Amino acid sequence: MLNLLTIRPGQAKAGADKLMEGATGQFKQSFGAEKETYLKMIDGQHVTSDGGIDAAGIESSGSSNATVLVAAHSTVKNDSNKKGSAREYRLKVMMTKVDDRWLASNVQFVP
């Protein structure tokens, strides 16, 4: 989730590629379909986000699937907000075991 919440203009493609490496299923498909739009927005508006994870816990798990709840934060800056805005997130992350790696298969922002 740090790869989702930490963004640097000029490094957006490398960050997006790293995010895709840790993704599978619906999340990989959805993000992959929007990746070019995402990259243009990051670089075009000079978006910077410094993210961090405050807490995480396993809601449920099995041998090849798990649901993880994540509390996170970031400070987001861009051309129209140079001082930055603090943001807090709650995420529900569905994980799927692929080979020997746990990958994010779905990510939902929870109100």
Q: What are the residue ranges spanned by the domains of the chain?
A: 2-109
Task: Report pLDDT digits (tens) over 72-106.
Answer: 999 999 999 999 999 999 999 999 999 999 999 99
Structure tokens at 28: 């990989």
Amino acid at 16: A
User: How far, in Å, CA of 107 to CA of 69, rounded?
Assistant: 10
The correct CATH number of 2-109 out of 3.10.450.50, 3.90.25.10, 3.40.1170.60, 3.50.50.60 is 3.10.450.50
pLDDT of residue 9: 84
Distances (CA, A) of 85 to 46, 73, 82, 104, 109: 14, 11, 9, 27, 18
Contacts of 19 (CB under 8 A, 6+ apart): 3, 4, 31
Tell whether the model's pLDDT for residue 54 goes beyond 90: yes
User: How far, in Å, CA of 52 to CA of 84, rounded?
Assistant: 15
